[in-house]
Chain A
Amino acid sequence: GQNIDQPTEMTATEGAIVQINCTYQTSGFNGLFWYQQHAGEAPTFLSYNVLDGLEEKGRFSSFLSRSKGYSYLLLKELQMKDSASYLCAVRDRNYQLIWGAGTKLIIKP
């Protein structure tokens, strides 16, 4: 079966750096996405990786290793507004998105 694994919850301190990991086992691979979802709101797109390596976008970076079935989202200079759930999703060989359950990130002052 297809599977996306992420930690359920993480805690970090304002101003620090946090890395949220995602491992996947899917039928084929056509890209990996990270979305942010604040409590009670809709998911919003953060990043897309299809080739191995690091994609940087401001305070957020996303890394992909296709051979290891592994990605991480790196958040720098954490702000209180970064408290949210972070969803990892992989597009399989049929271009269907398989979603992880999300990682709830709690930022403490």
Chain B
Amino acid sequence: IAGITQAPTSQILAAGRRMTLRCTQDMRHNAMYWYRQDLGLGLRLIHYSNTAGTTGKGEVPDGYSVSRANTDDFPLTLASAVPSQTSVYFCASSDSTGGGANVLTFGAGSRLTVL
């Protein structure tokens, strides 16, 4: 593993089903993030975690939950998927949460289609 690994790469899901997108990083970054990317819109933050054991809500948290049991893993769960959650999901991490060039490293993305 080098950087951030996301799984699955893509998934087609029936509405109402539960789905967990996995994210693992090996850089020992403190902060992790989940974004969704939709055509014509900027990346939108779903949830974030500044450090293991803590999580926070982003801009579009409804219908999603996260956990951060350790530094490396940050899974995103859709409890009951709806078609509006069809999107490309990116997990990202950064070394810190403050100022400076706090660069985000992104995973390759998970393309989710909810029918």
| Residues of A participating in the B interface, judged by any CB pair closer than 8 Å | 4, 8, 30-31, 33, 35, 41-45, 48, 50, 87, 89, 91, 95-102
Contacts and interface: CB of A to CB of B under 8 A. Distances in A.
B27 interface: no
Contacts of A87: 42-43
A99 B44 contact: yes
A31 B101 CA distance: 8
B70 interface: no
Contacts, number: 49
Contacts of B90: 42-43
Nearest to A98: B42
Contacts of A43: 43, 90, 104, 106
Contacts of B43: 43, 87, 89, 97, 99
What are the nearest 5 A-B pairs in CB distance?
A99-B42, A42-B106, A48-B101, A99-B43, A45-B103
Name B's interface SS.
loop
Interface of B: 40-45, 58, 90, 97-99, 101-109
Nearest to A40: B109
A30 B58 CA distance: 18
Contacts of B99: 30-31, 50, 95
Nearest to B3: A42
Given A30-B99, A31-B99, A45 B104 contact: yes
Nearest to A44: B106
A102 to B, nearest CB: 7
